[in-house]
C-alpha cells in the first residue's frame, strides 16, 4: 500500500497483511534460524526449540508494518509506537539549541513541552518523522543504558537527536533513547535530507524511548498512559494548546 491515498470518506482500499521485516533484523533471524535448524539436525531438541522461538521473536521485533499518515500541515504525528509515560515542560536538549557550526539555527532555549513515548520489546521499533521538512541535525550521543522509563534517561542514556524544520521555519526536535536492553540506535537519514511526515527515520534495537519536543505554544492532544502508533496518532496540532482530560478504564 505504499503511496496509496486514503481518506475519511471511504476512498482507497485497505486490508490486513503480514508486515514486512526490516533488513536490520533479517540477518539476526537468519543466524538464529540456522542455529535452530542445525540443532534439530543434531537432535539437540532442548536447544532447537528455544532457538526457533527466538527466531520468531526477532522477526516480530523487527516487523515494519505500513502506516496511514494523516496529511495536514498542522499535525504532529507520533514518531514511535508505545505508551505515553511523561509529559513535561523542559528546555530542549543542548544538542538541539546550541550553534553547531552549520549555519542552520537550532531550537530556542525556552522550555517547551516534551512528550515521552516508551517502547517495550513488543512494540514496533521503527521510528518516523513527526512532521514533513528538512532534517537540520542528526546528533548521536554515547551514554549509559538506564531504564528508559526514568526521566534522567533523556540526559544520561545513549541517544540520538533529530531536528526537523518545515518550510515555514517551524521546528520539531525528537530524540531516540536507548534503554536497558537496547544497544544500538540506527539512523536512516542524515542532515540535509527532506522527509515527509510519517517517513521512517531510524530504529532502536530491543526496547527504548522516544522524546518529542513540541514548538512553543503547542500542547499535546494525547494523555498520560495513552498508547500511540508511529506515523498515525496525532500527538498535537501546531499552535493549539487544548486542556484534555481522560479516564482510565
Q: Which residues are catalytic?
A: 208
Q: Which of 172, 59, 212, 69 is nearest to 125 (CA)?
A: 59
Cα distance between residue 14 and residue 4, in whole Å: 10
Cα distance between residue 162 and residue 192, in whole Å: 11
Q: Is 26 exposed, middle or buried (0-12, 13-18, 19+ CB in 10 A)?
A: middle
Cα distance between residue 45 and residue 181, in whole Å: 27
Q: Which residues fall within 8 angstroms of residue 54, CB to CB, at 6 or more apart? A: 32, 36
Question: For residue 66, what is the DSSP state?
Answer: -
Cα distance between residue 71 and residue 131, in whole Å: 10
Q: Is the dihedral of CA 84, 85, 89, 93 positive or negative?
A: negative
Q: Can you read off the three cell numbers belonging to residue 248?
A: 482510565
Amino acid at each position: 500500500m505504499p503511496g496509496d491515498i486514503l481518506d475519511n470518506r471511504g476512498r482507497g482500499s485497505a486490508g490486513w497483511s503480514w508486515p514486512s521485516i526490516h533488513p536490520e533484523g533479517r540477518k539476526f533471524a537468519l543466524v538464529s534460524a540456522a542455529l535452530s535448524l542445525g540443532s534439530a539436525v543434531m537432535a539437540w531438541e532442548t536447544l532447537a526449540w528455544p532457538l526457533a522461538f527466538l527466531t520468531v521473536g526477532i522477526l516480530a521485533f523487527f516487523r515494519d508494518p505500513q502506516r496511514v499518515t494523516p496529511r495536514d500541515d498542522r499535525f504532529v504525528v507520533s514518531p514511535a509506537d508505545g505508551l505515553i509515560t511523561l509529559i513535561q515542560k523542559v528546555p530542549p536538549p543542548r544538542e538541539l539549541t546550541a550553534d553547531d557550526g552549520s549555519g542552520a539555527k537550532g531550537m530556542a532555549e525556552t522550555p517547551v513541552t516534551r512528550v515521552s513515548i516508551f517502547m517495550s520489546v513488543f512494540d514496533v521499533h521503527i521510528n518516523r518523522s513527526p512532521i514533513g521538512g528538512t532534517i537540520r541535525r542528526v546528533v548521536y550521543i554515547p551514554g549509559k543504558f538506564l531504564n528508559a522509563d526514568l526521566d534522567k534517561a533523556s540526559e544520561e542514556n545513549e541517544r540520538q537527536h533529530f531536528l526537523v524544520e518545515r518550510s515555514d521555519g517551524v521546528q520539531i526536535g525528537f530524540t531516540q533513547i536507548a534503554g536497558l536492553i537496547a544497544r544500538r540506535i540506527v539512523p536512516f537519514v542524515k542532515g540535509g535530507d527532506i522527509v515527509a511526515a510519517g517517513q521512517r527515520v531510524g530504529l532502536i534495537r530491543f526496547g527504548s524511548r522516544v522524546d518529542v519536543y513540541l514548538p512553543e505554544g503547542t500542547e499535546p492532544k494525547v494523555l498520560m498512559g495513552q498508547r500511540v502508533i508511529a506515523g498515525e496518532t496525532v500527538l498535537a496540532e501546531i499552535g493549539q494548546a487544548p486542556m484534555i482530560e481522560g479516564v482510565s478504564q
